Amino acid sequence: MSTQNSNAAAKFDNKEGQRIPSVTFPIRVNDDWSKRDTEDIFAGKTVVVFSLPGAFTPTCSSTHLPRYNELANKFSENGVDEILCVSVNDTFVMNAWAADQNAENVSFIPDGNGDFTDGMGLLVNKNDIGFGKRSWRYSMLVKDGVIQKMFIEPDLPGDPFEVSDADTMLAYINPEAAQTTQISMFIKPGCPHCAKAKAVLAQQGLQYEELTLGDGISISAMRAITNADTVPQVFIDGKHIGGADDLTKHFA
């Protein structure tokens, strides 16, 4: 990880030890205009920030944002007061994305003019894909307005996503809080019990592998492995836990 971050420094300055830029963000809240400034956000607090190229884009929606939302409880347990998602998008777009993602544990910061991102030295030109000026992907840990740690994606073509993820940040804050368990779950589309099991795992901040019936997985194969006919069927570190209620009891 350190090598990748040093490669990024060839293009982007690492601002560890410096104060974050002073910026005011216009935000739309309940159909009214409001504002949040960096003094209000960071003063006296420990804040994790992750910034990405754009709302509704593939990696941002499928991995980057959801994982920070999933791990919010673990970040809180380790002294983090707030998690910010910053993007060079306007507040209407960011609000729509937040609603679409059901990411209630993350604060969405619309850096519509790019002032904050520019102040971080991470405003890049993405005209080749019609994005204009956007943020390079990175994350940082900020304490009382001072940047303690930055994970800047390496200066490679496209949109690298190697070091600014939630698990890397959590492992930096507390290596013992990082997930070491391996979880697999047999599911089928539209199953409400599967949704319940996923919610339990998300609440625990745990990643899992989905084995979807009908997608290369037959019910007879699942039955042979689990001796069960219903979904979900969850395994943790090779141990068969059972269905959604069994999973809830396991963590209780």
Residue after which a domain boundary falls, among 140, 162, 177: 177
Residue 62: CA count within 13 A, CB half-sphere: 4
Neighbours of 161 (CB within 10 A): 14
Residue-level pLDDT at 9: 41
User: What whole-number distance in Å separates Cα of residue 189 and Cα of residue 102?
Assistant: 19
**Does residue 170 sit in the same domain as residue 190?**
no
Q: Is 7 exposed, middle or buried (0-12, 13-18, 19+ CB in 10 A)?
A: middle
**Domain extent for 8:** 2-177
**Does residue 206 sit in the same domain as residue 102?**
no
User: What whole-number distance in Å separates Cα of residue 227 and Cα of residue 237?
Assistant: 18
- DSSP structure class, residue 217: B
**Does residue 23 sit in the same domain as residue 120?**
yes
Residue-level pLDDT at 5: 40
Residue-level pLDDT at 4: 39
Residue-level pLDDT at 240: 96
Residue-level pLDDT at 2: 35
Strand partners, 142: 47, 147
| Amino acid (one-letter) located at 119 | G
The tokens describing 60, both together, are: 């941002």
Nearest to 80 by CA among 6, 172, 11: 172
Helix (H) or strand (E) segment spanning residue 109: strand 107-110
60 among known catalytic residues = yes
Residue-level pLDDT at 182: 85
Nearest to 10 by CA among 155, 109, 173, 212: 155
**Does residue 38 sit in the same domain as residue 147?**
yes
Residue-level pLDDT at 127: 86
SS3 29: strand
* CATH number (domain holding residue 6): 3.40.30.10
CA 218 to chain centre: 32
**Does residue 54 sit in the same domain as residue 172?**
yes
**Does residue 85 sit in the same domain as residue 154?**
yes
- pTM score over 0.95: no
**Does residue 133 sit in the same domain as residue 210?**
no
User: What whole-number distance in Å separates Cα of residue 142 and Cα of residue 168?
Assistant: 15
60, 85, 191, 194: the catalytic one is 60
Domain count, the chain: 2
Three-point CA angle 133, 136, 138, nearest 5°: 150
Nearest to 72 by CA among 96, 29, 107, 101: 107
Residue-level pLDDT at 8: 40
**Does residue 137 sit in the same domain as residue 188?**
no
Q: Tens-digit pLDDT profile for the chain (252 aa)? A: 333 343 344 479 999 999 999 999 999 999 999 999 999 999 999 999 999 999 999 999 988 999 899 889 899 999 999 999 999 999 999 999 999 999 999 999 999 999 999 999 999 989 888 889 999 999 999 999 999 999 999 989 889 999 999 999 999 999 988 776 889 999 999 999 999 999 999 888 888 889 999 988 899 999 999 999 999 999 998 899 999 999 999 998
**Does residue 80 sit in the same domain as residue 169?**
yes
**Does residue 169 sit in the same domain as residue 215?**
no
**Does residue 31 sit in the same domain as residue 131?**
yes
**Does residue 63 sit in the same domain as residue 150?**
yes
Q: Is 58 exposed, middle or buried (0-12, 13-18, 19+ CB in 10 A)?
A: exposed
Residue after which a domain boundary falls, among 177, 196, 231: 177
Residue after which a domain boundary falls, among 130, 152, 177: 177
